[in-house]
Structure 1
Amino acid sequence: MAPRPPSDDAGHVLVVDDDSRIRQLIGRYLGNNGFRVTGAGDAAEARRKLAAIDFDLMVLDVMMPGEDGLSLTASLKRERDVPILLLTARGDPDDRIRGLEAGADDYLAKPFEPRELLLRLANLMKRRPAEAKATPPETVRFGRFAYDLRREELRDGDEVVRLTDRERQLLGQFAAAPDGIVGRDQLAGPDADVGDRAVDVQINRLRRKIEDDPANPVHLQTVRGVGYRLRWE
């Protein structure tokens, strides 16, 4: 079966695990099955990304250095109502109960079948109350620029700015994101060959077209520890 790319209203999952290999495997599988995915290596990084992005779901490893998954779950559940699925190498009933007592919505023991994880996340998404979705803007404006999402056309005043297909895709992602913030993992997508360096290069190329001083960007700014933000009006 061919990968199913994420739609504009796809669920956005934050995967928190100190094992980068597991993060990449989960991210690739969920990304190929219609989810948008952002990764974090520990609780501190997860908190930074949660401060900038509203996620629909979290997949959270229990055993992590520093603040563990149980503590992070309990803390987050006092602050927000994001569904959390805990992953753990411990599968006995007492550990599962501790996770649920901390506020987790579901629990999956390692090793697990990726398809089971996918089904559990889909079920968690179904439990969420339906929210009225804001109509996406037809045009986003930043400074003297305007980007028409329907035509995928960028204008600098009356002049059309030439864009590559990748630059159109980037502008579409920023325009559709809350507050214009898009995580680095989301910009890279499920393709493991697109690394951080490739994303930085693509962003810098776009900045050269929309910034007076690309080294000191006003419109397309870096959000440290998260990704980038297009400050559109």
Structure 2
Amino acid sequence: MHKPKILIVDDDADFRAPIKAILMNEGLQVEEAASAQEMQKILAGFDADMVLLDVNLPDDSGLNIVSRLKQNQRIDVVMLSALGEVEHRVNGLTSGADYYLAKPVDIRELLAVINNRFQALTTHQPKQTHAWQLDTVNWLLITPDGEMHPLNNSELTILSLLAKQTMHDKATSREALYSALGNPNYSPESRSLDLHISRMRQRFSSNDFQFPIKTIRNVGYQLTKPIAIL
């Protein structure tokens, strides 16, 4: 069963350390970053379900960061700040944050927020049919073992188009995929789509099954097994 992956982004190591220890003791996967730049490097290889984000970082504002995160990823953002007045909370929430907690953070409240998010994931988990399923509402790909993988915007776009075309036993052209990704005028030398597909093959395959996709020469890609859209 999927356990939330948490990324703590705060420049105060003394603040991060005890929270990380408590969350890991709860069985969660936790990474930490001290800056926006470090956060981006970690997110490249860590599919976080939730970011605990300090408002004031040395290289960027948390208000700017949350807006960027929400544009490209399906991820929960909990803003943490010593500024707990209503005006600051409203600014955080209107920037895109899902929650806003004032420092010093009550760990019981933080755990409740995380558990509520995890409960939402399990509540929407479909019955196991040992098939591939795409939850477009909650941005999840459910693999045959029942594991729920949060998707970013590009992954959801690609999977949705592939799944719809496969219903009609059709391949999906590179042109259609690039257009869906917002890049209709892509260069013939562009390999960004192939990189997306390669990452998805690695991410959604296991020792028991492979991500069901094949390359159609001079055309694009096609799923070798259907992915049911929920």
TM-score by length of 1: 0.53
Matched AA of 1:63: N
**In structure 1, what is the equivalent of residue 75 of structure 2?**
82
**Which sits farther off after the overlay, 95-104 or 51-60?**
51-60
Distance in 2, Cα, partners of 1:59 & 1:134: 31
1:64/1:100 Cα in 2 relative to 1: closer, same or farther (>3 Å)?
same
Residue 102 (1) aligns with residue 112 (2): no
Q: CA deviation at 1:56?
A: 1.2
Residue deviations 1:88-146 (CA, integer Å, cap 9, x gap): 0001001000100110000100012111111111112233454424539xxxxxxxxxx
CA distance, structure 1, for counterparts of residue 42 and residue 145 of structure 2: 25
1:31 paired residue among 3, 24, 36: 24
Instruction: Tell me what 2:117 maps to.
Output: 124
Deviations 1:13-50 (A, max 9, x none): 01100001111111001111121100011111111111
Q: Deviations over 1:160-179 (max 9, x none)?
A: xxxxxxxxxxxxxxxxx948
- Give, in whole Å, the separation in 1 of the partners of 2:119 and 2:98: 13
Q: Is the 8 A contact 1:85 1:105 kept in 2?
A: yes
1:115 aligns with 2:125: no
SS in 2 for 1:84: strand
Contact 2:6 2:31 in 1 (8 A): yes
Number of residues paired by the alignment?
A: 133
Helix, strand or coil for the counterpart of 2:96? coil
Q: Which secondary structure state, in structure 1, belongs to the residue aligned with residue 112 of structure 2? A: helix
- Judged with a 3 Å threshold, the aligned counterparts in structure 2 of structure 1 residues 65 and 134 are, in CA distance, closer, same or farther, namely farther
Secondary structure at the counterpart of residue 66 of structure 1: coil
Q: Does structure 1 residue 135 correspond to structure 2 residue 140?
A: no
Secondary structure of 1:52's aligned partner: coil
Q: Given the alignment, which residue of 47, 67, 71 partners 2:64? A: 71
Whether contact under 8 Å (1:12, 1:35) holds in the other structure is yes
Percent identity of equivalent pairs: 34
- Contact 2:4–2:50 (8 Å) recurs in 1: yes
User: Tell me, which stretches of 5 or more residues in structure 1 are unaligned?
Assistant: 1-7, 137-176, 181-233
- Runs of 5+ in structure 2 lacking a partner? 126-139, 147-201, 206-230
- Provide the rounded CA distance (Å) in 1 between the counterparts of 2:80 and 2:60: 15
Which runs of structure 1 show a deviation greater than 4 angstroms over 4 or more consecutive aligned residues? 177-180
Q: Residues 193-213 of structure 1: CA distance to partner in whole angstroms, max 9, x if unpaired? A: xxxxxxxxxxxxxxxxxxxxx
Is 1:59 paired with 2:58? Answer: no
| Paired amino acid for 1:119 | A
CA distance in 1, matches of 2:75, 2:38: 17
Local SS of the residue matching 2:47: coil
Q: Secondary structure of the equivalent of 2:66?
A: helix
SS at 2:78 equivalent? strand
